[in-house]
Amino acid sequence: MATDARKRFSTPTTFVLLIFLSIALVITDLSGQFLGVPRQLTTWVTNGLYSGINAPGRWLTYSSFYLQDRAQLLESQRAREREYQDAVVKNRRFDALARENSELRQVLALVQRSPDLELVTAELTATVFEPGRNEILINRGKSHGVLDGMAVLDATGIYGQVVESLAFTSRVILITDRRLAVPVVVQRSGTHALITGIGNSSELVLEHAEITADIENGDLLVASGLGGVYPHGYPVGVVMSMEPDASGVEMRVMVEPLASMHRRTWLLVVVGGTTSEVAEE
Amino acid sequence: MKLPRNNVGFALTLVLALVLTMLDLPHFAPAALTYFTPNFALLVCYYWATNSPTHFSVMVAWLFGFLFDALHAEPFGLNGFILCVVVLVGLNLPRRSNRPILGYQLLALLLLVIFAEIVRLIVMQFVEYPVQGSIVAIPWSIVASLAFWFIVVVILDRWIVVDDSNVSFS
């Protein structure tokens, strides 16, 4: 029965025929003359099979590459963020240097504009942060010629007054402090007045201004030079608002200081020639 | 999964061999592993010829050889010729209790794998000369085929083939 089965499926004749057919096909194909079309068809079919069979593996490969790339991108992004933060810090340092440079230029310009004033450049070393006290410390003292009562300027306006001079440092009270008064004159009308601080770094008040006084919003107040402390004609502030007080006799005039309170690093101490006029910019 | 010992079962296992032949190595696998590629078609045909001689038709093997020719871009008839010889040898192996004798089976397999590689090399000399990489790959391919033979036997014996002990050869 086994022999019958073998004969049924794989007879010797079948073997011989298939082997000869195979050899004939090989020779024919090698000659390259007759099997071009079957070759194209089978290639087309096997290419499709190849693509289909390898599609999942290829998809997995691409997915793994994608995930790997994403991880790399995330790492790269973190590195860029770190670099960005470093660059921001550097940029802020450059900004600070640029501001300081600009401030120094302004101070230098002020010194050059005021040949009659004897000025000493000072650097802010500390700020006193206490309610009602607007004071700073500067790195110039008696050894630099800085004495008590001397005026302190910045590049844009009167800043304050030295109240305590030590050997190498000085304590300066700002014009925004309640304890300091600055004699001023309205540049437009020549009206004299006295302004004091109210403890607010952005506001001064003009004391005892009569309601009929020739003062208007926007008027520039400059130092009058009375008392010989502040240089005559040096800007102090600009009138912001005016309103009559309860008595109806006087006005409450609010003034914006022109000096940049708490925003300056470089200051000038007037150590001489305070009565001379300062050229206006 | 159980497959019957008929042309459907043969075809499915040969298709599986075809798929394994066509599968690319994963991208993380070393490139040298491409040399270590078993001749899946030969192994499957040899298995069926030795283990199911009454059912396996040489015509099925020859037709699949045609497919493998197309797949490998080899001359038509080359793999058909090789698989015909494989089936012929497999059918005529010495048997004991209706099972091929293991020693003869392994020896025949070794000779057949070497034969297949040599025939392919000779024929491919006419297609491309020198044959790209084949000389280097031949020993590794033979080793891979022999190593994979045991996997083929285990899988087909235990997991796929329906037990046909009721078939009588007497």
ipTM of the complex: 0.79
Dig out the tokens for A150 from the structure.
């001397």
CA A39 to CA A73: how far, in whole Å?
Answer: 46
Residue pair A269/A141 in contact (Cβ under 8 Å)? The answer is no
Residue pair A253/A218 in contact (Cβ under 8 Å)? The answer is no
A217 touches chain B (CB under 8 A): no
CB contact under 8 A, A2 and B75: no
Dig out the tokens for A213 from the structure.
């006084």
- CB-nearest partner of B84 from A22, A49, A58: A22
CB contact under 8 A, A18 and B54: no
B11 touches chain A (CB under 8 A): no
Q: What is the 3-state secondary structure (H, E, C) of B69-107?
A: HHHHCCCCCHHHHHHHHHHHHHHCCCEECCEECHHHHHH
Which residues have CB under 8 Å from A151's CB, separation 6+? A158, A160, A161, A162, A229, A230, A231, A269, A270, A274
- Counting every residue written for chain B, the total comes to 170
Closest approach of A23 to chain B, Cα-based (Å): 6
Q: What is the pLDDT of residues B44-95, one digit of tens each?
A: 999 988 888 888 888 888 988 888 888 888 888 899 999 999 999 988 888 8
DSSP for A103-132, written as a single string: HHHHHHHHHHH-TTSEEEEEEEEEEEEETT
Q: Over its length of 281 residues, how does chain A's per-residue pLDDT go in tens digits?
A: 444 544 455 678 888 888 899 998 888 888 876 777 888 888 788 888 888 888 888 787 777 767 767 778 888 889 999 999 999 988 888 888 888 888 788 777 777 777 777 888 898 888 876 766 788 899 998 898 899 889 998 888 899 999 888 888 899 999 988 888 899 999 888 888 899 988 887 889 988 888 888 888 899 999 988 888 888 888 899 999 988 888 878 888 999 998 877 777 788 898 887 554 444 44
Closest approach of B145 to chain A, Cα-based (Å): 22
| Integer Rg of chain A from CA | 45
The winner for highest mean pLDDT among A244-253, B9-18, B144-153 is B144-153
What region, left, alpha or beta, does residue A145 occupy, with left being phi > 0 and alpha being psi -120 to 50 degrees? left
Chain B residues within 8 A of A50 when measuring between CB atoms: 22, 71
Q: Are strands A133-138 and A118-130 parallel, antiparallel or unpaired?
A: antiparallel
Q: What are the Cα distances from residue A179, in Å, to A11, A159, A182, A197, B6?
A: 125, 14, 10, 7, 113
CA A7 to CA B58: how far, in whole Å?
Answer: 11
Residue with tokens 């037990």: B163
pTM for the full model?
0.50
Specify the domain boundaries for CATH 2.40.10.350 within chain A: 118-272
Closest approach of B168 to chain A, Cα-based (Å): 8
Mark A82-116 as b/e (b = at least 16 C-beta within 10 Å): eeeeeeeeeeeeeeeeeeeeebeebbeebbeebee
B97 touches chain A (CB under 8 A): no
Chain B residues within 8 A of A38 when measuring between CB atoms: 76
Residue A279 pLDDT: 41
Say whether pLDDT at B117 is over 70. Answer: yes
Q: What topology is assigned to A118-272 in CATH?
A: Thrombin, subunit H (2.40.10)
CA B145 to CA B111: how far, in whole Å?
Answer: 11
CA A213 to CA A197: how far, in whole Å?
Answer: 20
Q: What residue type is A202 in one-letter code?
A: S
- CB-nearest partner of B81 from A14, A22, A50: A22
pLDDT confidence tier of residue B165, bands split at 50, 70 and 90: very low
CA B58 to CA B16: how far, in whole Å?
Answer: 18
B86 closest CA partner among B62, B118, B67: B62
Residue A266 pLDDT: 85
The winner for highest mean pLDDT among A144-148, A271-275, B26-30, B129-133 is A144-148
* 3 state SS of A239: strand
Residue pair A183/A274 in contact (Cβ under 8 Å)? The answer is no
A64 touches chain B (CB under 8 A): yes
Closest approach of B16 to chain A, Cα-based (Å): 11
